[in-house]
Amino acid sequence: MLSQEELINIMHDLESDRIERTKATTDTDKFCEAICAFSNDFPNHKKNGYLLLGVTNEGNLSGLKATDKLLKDLASIKTSGNILPQPAMTIQPYHLDGGDIIVIEVFPAIHPPARYKGKIWIRTGPTRSIANETEERILIEKRTSTARTHDARPCPGSKLNDLSLDLFKIIYLPQAVDTDTVAKNNRSIEQQLAALRFYDLVYNSPTYAGIIIFGTNPLFYLPGAYIQYVRFNGTDVTADIEIEKRFSGDIYYLLKGVEEFIENVIILKKPVKAERLQEEMIQNYPLWALRELMMNAIIHRDYESNAPIYFYEFTDRIEILNPGGLYGDVRPDNFPNVSDYRNPVIAECLKTLGYVNRFNIGIRMAQEELKKNNNPPADFDIRQTTRFSVKIFRNKKW
């Protein structure tokens, strides 16, 4: 957080390429482009960038009023999923004589390049622009192969032919990168994959995320990368098994299979008597809540574990158990209000494919859907160190 003296100094520093000023209050595209550019830190300052709302290009106050709505709208930029990977940023209002200033402080991305709506924005001197192929390659080279998260690391022994390139080029790439960039693309397939963190150019192999998302046989390299579904005819695992099914394969195929199975096999509807002897149609579980909690398990599971995601259906509830406990900044006392990502590349992929609408709201939305469907709240067991589990109880009227 800047002191007021530091803020005054950067307001009037008209030469720095780490500072952008604006009088605008509703130009979300402009704000996001600036945040994306600061995240990429193309000049390699390794220092934070600052977007100052309420300051003119000449460094004077514009008379801005920092309302709660404006601050909330700006905060939503981080979790909207339009900038990927998700930017690290803080927002701080300052109240000065002559007007307010809202400072958005942006930290350099750990895994560049960052994109806003599929385009890579960078700072070149006092202006911002869309990166060309050479500039994009420089950003990729800034990212080290010893990435902090497992999904961004190279998968030893894997080769390009371990990936379904048609899935990447036909399904994923048009959704991840804007059409103009795709049309002008003259780079090799390896470079295209590397730009989205699915391939490591130093080790000349796919990353673990590449194997999980596009792999022709992910289980060869990650034996636990599947979902094990079991339906029990009772309330515990000692009951007779009615159905057993495994979901595996590239993440696009896996997700389609799980979603169709939930909708067609697990979700049931039936009429019950309501007031005045009329009938109402109820369902045992809300589709959206089950879907969202399964996406949560896929995003946050520990892919270094050989254990799968367990998807158990009992006569009174569903349980989803995935290897890997709470991660990073998330603790039992702040869950689910704080988020951190064990697998940020996979999280970005699910957002790109439309399986995740926004970051850090899925659990709250699932709880709301359960309440609307007359189900009890989902019960999370978050105190285990090696796994995470949730129980979803059946509609109380069922």
* Measured distance CA(22)–CA(39) in Å, rounded: 18
Residue 2: pLDDT over 90: no
Domain at 119, CATH number = 3.30.950.30
Say whether both 70 and 167 belong to one domain.
no
Model confidence at 144, pLDDT cuts 50, 70, 90, reads low
Total count of domains within the chain: 3
Say whether both 313 and 265 belong to one domain.
yes
Res 48: pLDDT: 93
Residue 300, in any domain of the structure? yes
In the chain, DSSP assigns E strands to: 19-22, 49-53, 83-84, 89-96, 99-106, 115-116, 121-124, 127-130, 199-200, 205-206, 227-232, 241-247, 269-273, 279-283, 309-313, 317-323, 379-381, 387-393
pLDDT tens for each residue of 89-102: 999 999 999 999 99
Of 372, 381, 229, the residue nearest 313 (C-alpha): 229
Share of the chain above pLDDT 90, in %: 68
Among the residue ranges 53-67, 270-284, 357-371, 382-396, the one predicted with the least confidence is 270-284
Domain at 359, CATH number = 3.30.565.60
Res 243: pLDDT: 95
Q: Quick count: other Cβ atoms within 10 Å of Cβ 303?
A: 23
Residue 218, in any domain of the structure? no
Say whether both 381 and 264 belong to one domain.
yes
Q: What is the pTM of this model?
A: 0.74
Residue 138, in any domain of the structure? no
Owner of token pair 């949730």: 390
Residue 305, in any domain of the structure? yes
Say whether both 195 and 253 belong to one domain.
no
Longest dimension (CA), the chain: 76
Sign of CA dihedral 112, 117, 123, 129: positive
Residue 142: pLDDT over 90: no
Residue 99, in any domain of the structure? yes
Res 50: pLDDT: 96
pLDDT tens for each residue of 299-332: 999 998 999 999 999 999 999 999 988 887 888 8
Say whether both 233 and 267 belong to one domain.
yes
pLDDT tens for each residue of 187-226: 899 999 999 999 999 889 999 999 999 999 999 999 999 9
pLDDT tens for each residue of 44-66: 888 999 999 999 999 999 999 99
Residue 220, in any domain of the structure? no
In the numeric block, which tokens belong to residue 312? 């158990």
pLDDT tens for each residue of 147-199: 568 899 899 999 999 999 999 999 999 998 887 777 777 789 999 999 999 99
Residue 360: pLDDT over 80: no
Say whether both 207 and 245 belong to one domain.
no
Res 145: pLDDT: 44
The CA-based angle 239-245-251, given to 5 degrees, is 140
Sign of CA dihedral 356, 392, 246, 156: positive
Say whether both 332 and 366 belong to one domain.
yes
Model confidence at 22, pLDDT cuts 50, 70, 90, reads very high
**Whole-number Cα distances in Å, 171 to 67, 131, 158, 179, 344:** 41, 23, 22, 13, 20
Say whether both 239 and 362 belong to one domain.
yes
Say whether both 23 and 91 belong to one domain.
yes
Res 277: pLDDT: 65
**168: Cβ–Cβ under 8 A, 6 or more apart, which residues?**
189, 192, 193, 198, 214
Res 274: pLDDT: 73
Residue 258, in any domain of the structure? yes
Say whether both 242 and 359 belong to one domain.
yes
* Measured distance CA(292)–CA(259) in Å, rounded: 10
By residue range, what is the domain housing residue 49?
Answer: 4-128
pLDDT tens for each residue of 235-271: 999 999 999 999 999 998 999 999 999 999 999 998 8
Say whether both 203 and 302 belong to one domain.
no
